[in-house]
């Protein structure tokens, strides 16, 4: 008989915000890294957070010479993440 069942096991999920929890998944590793979770998603926190891993917001602001504006809050968000 073939073993057709995926490896369903306990997986630790680690968020970029520092929060972590365990769940069950067929994910290949024991630890899953995520950028956002229920503890830091703007929907739950009520705060605006720019998810900008590739620096696209920075690029956009540079392109249109928006050096000031909300640049300060953006930097803070980056540090927090
Ligand atoms: Zn998080």
pLDDT of residue 2: 82
Which letter does DSSP use for residue 3 in this model? -
Contact (CB, 8 A) for 12 and 34: no
**Euclidean distance between CA atoms 53 and 73, whole angstroms:** 16
pTM of the full structure: 0.53
Q: Which CATH number fits domain 1-49: 3.30.1490.20, 3.40.50.460, 4.10.80.400, 1.10.10.10?
A: 4.10.80.400
Kindly give the distance from the C-alpha atom of residue 60 to the centroid of ligand 1, in angstroms, as a whole number. Answer: 25
Kindly give the distance from the C-alpha atom of residue 70 to the centroid of ligand 1, in angstroms, as a whole number. Answer: 22
User: Residue 81 — very low, low, confident or very high, per pLDDT cuts 50/70/90?
Assistant: low
Kindly give the distance from the C-alpha atom of residue 17 to the centroid of ligand 1, in angstroms, as a whole number. Answer: 4
Cα distances from 48 to residues 30, 40, 72, in angstroms, run 31, 10, 13
Q: What is the pLDDT of residues 9-54, one digit of tens each?
A: 999 999 999 999 999 999 999 999 999 898 888 877 777 666 666 7
Listed in order, the ranges of the chain carrying CATH 4.10.80.400 are 1-49
Contact (CB, 8 A) for 24 and 11: yes
Which letter does DSSP use for residue 64 in this model? T
Q: What is the pLDDT of residues 56-76, one digit of tens each?
A: 778 888 888 776 555 445 555
């Amino acid at each position: 008989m073939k073993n057709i069942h995926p490896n369903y096991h306990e997986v630790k999920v680690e968020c970029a915000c520092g929060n972590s929890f365990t769940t069950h998944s067929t994910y290949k590793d024991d630890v899953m890294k995520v950028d956002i979770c229920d503890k830091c998603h703007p929907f739950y926190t009520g705060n605006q957070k720019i998810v900008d891993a590739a620096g696209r917001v920075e690029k956009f602001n540079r392109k249109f010479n928006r050096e000031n504006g909300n640049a300060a809050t953006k930097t803070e968000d980056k540090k927090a993440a």
